Amino acid sequence: MTWYRQRKPPATLGQPLDRVDGRLKVTGGARYAAEFAIPNVAHAVIVTSTIAKGRIESMDTSAAEGAAGVLKVLTPFNAPRLPGAPKPGPHNENAAATGQSQSPGPQGPAARDAVSMRIPTLLQDDIVRYNGQPIGVVVADTFEHAREASNLVRVKYAVEHPVLDWSKAPLNPPEEVHPLGGERTVARGDVAKGLSDAAVTVDHTYVTPLENHNPMEVHSTLAQWDGESLLLYESTQGITSVRNTVARHLGLTADKVRVVAYFTGGGFGSKGGPWSHETLAAVAAREVGRPVKLVLTRRQMFGPVGGRPRTEQRVTLGATKEGALTAIRHHSKSTTSTIEDWVEPATNQTRMLYDCPNCETQYDLVRVNVGTPTFMRAPGESTGTFALESAMDELAYELKMDPVELRKRNHAQNDPESGKPWSSKALMECYDSAATRFGWANRNPTPRAMRDGRWLVGWGMATATYPARRAPAGAIARMMPDGRAFVRAGTQEIGCGTYTSMTQIAAEALGIAPSMVRFELGSTDMPENPASTGSVTAASTGSAVHDVAVALRQKLVQLAINDAQSPLHGATEMDVRTDNGSLTLVSDPRRTESYSALVMRNGTRPIEVTVTSKPGADAQQYSMHSFGAVFADVRVDPQLAIVRVPRVVTAHAVGRILNAKTARSQIIGGVVWGVGMALEEETLIDPQTGRYINADLAEYHVPVNADIGTIDTAFVEQPDDHVSTVGAKGVGEIGITGVAAAIANAVYHATGKRVRELPIRIERLLT
């Protein structure tokens, strides 16, 4: 669409505008899923299994049913049969219905939509597949009554021996390993020859543990029926996928289900699609004939709603004496559940990040009795960059070469996997920017050579990357009689600042102040948008908002030049500019008219436009990724092996920056998570019972303020119109990639001890 002339670009996009929803959040006015006041609401509590494998022989609910305030106790023995309930089991048949096989890669947009097909446990059979599996629902008049009654349910199991030790579990047969939208094995060139020709090789295995999401807001659903229509207030990153899945489970058409999520208190992947609790809440509400609120406990965040799987990644690199890579082999093995296949796509970045003629990647799965894994911030790339970038650091030491120089020598001018040109790439500038601000030139390359008093000092670095993707998205825009714009899109606000950035996009496209734009999101009765996963919102919803605002402006211009009463009557489109809510002729600035006057004269009804924005041919012609560089400064106590991270410096090229403040916050959040991934996060499971041992915020360690030093982040801004019409790539997930590797590499530099298994605990440095 045409960009109409403006006197000067409004100081809107890119500016650090305060969050437009900030006041609502700090004053308590923002309503999250569990906070909507619904009359006569009942409360539901999920009962979970206490074994990891077996069958439920019986459930004695008599005491619970007789407890105060109890309205209903649902179990596999009395729950209604659901016409669209999926059948749990490996390589399930639901993939075809979601377009997984048409996805461009293991984490492509279609694959992400496949989260809507996540296999939940919906009380449809008596099989127990992991410890913590939902096996019942207690509904009562208050939460306290429901919780008390849930403790009165007595379950008798036929216990079977679970598979929990992944080292003893057989690999899935190769033909049963189906990465979402990808292939199990991908190869180019001749890796064996590349390794034999190499002057230097490294070959090591890197391990990342089970991890779990711990957003401040736990998963919550409030279900309300009106006849055959269902309203769900839901804590989610994907209102459309929740609507579609719940409707399918219940045998309803999608138009009978409306999902609302105006604010989501963090998700990081776990809320990327529906699980059991949404459908169970809807079933419970229908059974008791009144609205039902179901809020998971913190412990129930471990198992029933996914997490990051354990990975074991063997990386083999070969290089010439000059540091040119001759071969890369990256084999990743990860855990999944017995319910369905889930492959952590840890090798994706390996195929495209460095210029190497011979490359082979492969996925394998180990099926154990745990909850099904899912997307967790930068799924695949966060775990995969730890392995690849640690191996690159080891190669640099073998070559006695600076780690930055090694990466620069293997910089890929085009995508080595596809051969396509990059839509944009400023990785070399990121290296230079971050290295200069970090002071990398002052690094002594010898391990244990740098000290700060009694502390050993280590400096390490790594490359960051994440795919830049865009999915179809819709938006509607109205120009109101008072000159304000009203824009809606069915996306989600998960803490990234979407309300604000979309307001800025619309304001700039219309040539009005952000204060004159009202942007709304979070309901499935708005134009459909993709789930807020995979960093797609800025490129997808951003393009839709930009395109609909431009289309609205074009419609207003056409209205003016065709209106005999308008001062702009008879002008040409290219002679019209927008300026502070008005249309003005470039050739005669005296001829001007405000949006408000134009709408008022044309019947006072809002002027409305609806647009569906889709990726164009560029998506097939270019390889689209974001890039960055991460430099970490660590201190290690030589006696106690305590690790501190006083400083992290980053530079990222993520396309156009929509809001400098919220974009910086996203990178800072990713770096903090990377520190936690490197040093703290690990989900522990009892090897006998399969019970999640540290399923609370006291024992599942995440960084706190005292753990975080200075985070100096900068952007190498390079708008990318191939990715999106607004030039943005998305910034939500790249911030974590490379951070764990940079810290691990810094720890080696400080101590001379290479830790290849996360988290880097004290005992792993002492042994």
- The domain that holds 194 is classified in CATH as 3.30.365.10
Q: Note whether 561 and 456 are same-domain residues.
A: no
Cβ atoms of 758 and 208 within 8 Å: the answer is yes
Q: Show which residues are catalytic.
A: 733
Integer angstrom CA distances of residue 706 from 694, 702, 739: 21, 11, 18
Tokens 């099926």, residue?
367
Whether the predicted pLDDT of 109 surpasses 60: no
Domain end call among 555, 589, 614: 614
Residue with tokens 């008791």: 288
Per the structure, the count of domains in the chain is 4
At 181 the pLDDT is: 58
> Which tokens in the block code for residue 667?
């990178």
Judgement on whether residues 185 and 317 belong to the same structural domain of the protein: yes
Query: d(Cα 349, Cα 386) in Å, to the nearest integer?
Result: 11
Residues 166/368, Cβ–Cβ less than 8 Å = yes
Polymer length in residues for the chain: 767
Amino acid identity of residue 147, one-letter, is R
- Asked whether residue 9 carries a pLDDT value surpassing 70, the answer given is no
Indicate whether 22 belongs to any domain: yes
Are both 642 and 582 inside the same structural domain? no
Query: Is 722 a domain residue?
Result: yes
Summarize pLDDT for 436-490 with one digit per residue, the tens: 999 999 999 999 999 999 999 999 999 999 999 999 999 999 999 999 999 999 9
* Maximum separation of any 2 CA atoms in the chain, in Å: 86
**Could you tell me if 263 and 402 lie in one domain?**
no
Residue 573, domain member (yes or no): yes
Position 115 scores a pLDDT of: 43
b/e sequence 241-251, b meaning 16+ C-beta within 10 Å: bbbbbbbbbbe
pLDDT tier, 673 (very low <50, low <70, confident <90, very high otherwise): very high
28, burial (CB in 10 Å: exposed 0-12, middle 13-18, buried 19+): exposed
Q: Is the pLDDT of residue 65 over 90?
A: yes
Domain boundary among 250, 272, 301: 301
Average pLDDT, the chain: 93
CA atoms lying within 13 Å on the CB side of residue 592: 13
Q: 493 near 217, Cβ under 8 Å?
A: no
683-711: average pLDDT: 96
The token pair at 311 is 């990975």
Q: Quick one: pLDDT at residue 175?
A: 77
Q: Name residue 305's amino acid.
A: V
327 and 178 in a single domain? The answer is: yes
Residue 286 domain flag: yes
Which range (99-108, 523-532, 663-672, 733-742) has the least confidence?
Answer: 99-108
Same domain, 145 and 282: yes
Residue 442 lies in a domain: yes
Asked whether the predicted pLDDT for residue 112 surpasses 60, the reply is no
pLDDT (0 to 100) of residue 438: 98
* Type of residue at 400: K
277 lies in some domain: yes
Per-residue three-class SS string for 94-110: CHHHHCHHHCCCCCCHH
Sign of CA dihedral 518, 522, 524, 527: positive
Examine the domain organization and report whether 315 and 292 are in the same domain: no
Q: Is 419 exposed, middle or buried (0-12, 13-18, 19+ CB in 10 A)?
A: exposed
- What is the rounded CA–CA span in Å between residue 380 and residue 572? 52
Mean of pLDDT values over 171-196: 87
Give the whole-angstrom CA distance, residue 35 versus residue 266: 15
pLDDT at 86: 85
Which residues constitute the domain of residue 538?
Answer: 5-30+471-614
Taking the C-alpha atoms of residue 608 and residue 477, their distance in angstroms, rounded to an integer, is 6
Same domain, 631 and 486: no
What backbone torsions phi and psi does residue 112 show, to the nearest 5 degrees? -65, -35
Same domain, 378 and 437: no
pLDDT exceeding 90 applies to what percent of the chain? Answer: 90
- The reply to whether 443 and 355 lie within a common domain is no
Segments of 254-322 assigned E as strands:
257-260, 292-295, 311-319
